[in-house]
Amino acid sequence: MGQIPVQFTLEDVQESVEAKWRPNGSGAGWGGVSSAQHVLPPPLCHFSNSTRQVHFLGRYIYNREELVRFDSHVGEDLAVSELGRPAAELWNRQKDALERARAAGHTFCRINYKFLESSAVRRRGLNFQLLFCFLSPLWHHSLLVCSVNGFCPGHTEVRCFQNGQEEEAGVVSTGLIPNGDWTFQLMVMLEIVPQSGDVYTCHVEHPSWTSPVAVEWRTQYEPSQGKMLSRLGACVMGLLFLGVGLLLIRN
C-alpha cells in the first residue's frame, strides 16, 4: 500500500475514484501478465452508495490502442480489439490472476477509499476569506473577492450577494485549482460599485457542511486611506499569488 501512489476524485452522488496504480516489482498488472512495453492506465473505481457497490475497471493499452479491458460487472477480461482477443482468452484461462482481478473491487478500490477518507476527507477545515479590493473610492468600480481554500471533495458552490440579492452578472471564477494534496481552492470575483451602507456577502456551500457558511462585508462611508491601502495591498498580493499558482500548475 505504501508503494502505490494514489490520486482520487470524488463525485457528490456517485463518487468516482481514479487511482494511479503501478505494479510493485513483479511486473504483473491487473491481469497478472508481465510485459516491458505494455501501458497500464489508471484503473477506475466507481462507487455507488458509499462503498456498498463498487465497479472496478482496468485497461490494457499497447501502442496507444486499448486492447483488453477487465470489467468487474462482467467478471472477466474483454477484448476491445481483434488484436487483444488472444490476450483476453489467455488471461481468462489463468484462474488465479482472474480471481485477483475479480477481487480488486475490495483489495484495491475499497482499501484505497478508506485510505482517502482517513487522509483527506476528514481534513475539511476550509480557509475561507472575503476580500474587498478598493480599485477606487466609493461610488466607483471596485472588486469583491471570495477565496475558498483547502476543501475536499472538489465540489463547492460560491455565490455573491449585495444587500440580500444574489449577483450573477459580472461574476468571474477561477474554477477549481488543485493544491496537490487532494484538496482544492477556488476564487470568485465580482466587480461592484459600492455605496455607503451596502452589505456584500459571500455564500459558500460544501458537501462536508450541514449548512452553508456566509461572510459579510459592510461598506463604510469614507474609509481611511491607510485601510484602503492595506486592503488594496492584500488584494493585489492575493491575486499575484493566484496568478503564480496558476502559472506553475499549467507548466
* Structural domains of the chain, with CATH: 16-121 (3.10.320.10), 127-250 (2.60.40.10)
pLDDT given at position 104: 75
pLDDT given at position 230: 53
Label residue 87 left, alpha or beta by phi (over 0 means left) and psi (-120 to 50 means alpha): alpha
Q: Classify residue 127 as exposed, middle or buried by CB count within 10 Å of its CB (0-12, 13-18, 19+).
A: exposed
pLDDT given at position 6: 31
Secondary structure of the chain in HEC code, one letter for each residue? CCCCCCCCCCCCCCCEEECCCCCCCCCECCCCCECCCCECCCCEEEEECCCCEEEEEEEEEECCEEEEEEECCCCEEEECCHHHHHHHHHHHHCHHHHHHHHCHHHHHHHHHHHHHHHHHHCCCCCEEEEEEECCCCCCCCEEEEEEEEEECCCCCEEEEEECCEEECCCEEECCCEECCCCCEEEEEEEEECCCCCCEEEEEEECCCCCCCEEEEEECCCCCCHHHHHHHHHHHHHHHHHHHHHHHHHHC
Q: Could you read off the pLDDT of 60-97 as tens digits, one per residue?
A: 887 778 888 888 888 888 899 888 899 889 888 988 88
Distance of CA 110 to the CA centre of its chain: 19
Q: Could you read off the pLDDT of 43-62 as tens digits, one per residue?
A: 677 766 656 677 888 888 87
Please tell me the pTM assigned to this model. Answer: 0.41
pLDDT in tens, the chain (251 residues): 332 233 333 332 223 333 333 333 333 343 333 344 455 556 677 766 656 677 888 888 877 788 888 888 888 888 998 888 998 898 889 888 888 888 877 677 776 666 555 444 444 455 555 554 444 444 566 777 888 887 777 788 888 888 888 888 888 888 888 887 777 888 888 888 777 788 888 888 887 777 788 888 777 654 444 454 455 555 555 555 555 555 555 55
* 243 closest CA partner among 198, 189, 200, 192: 189
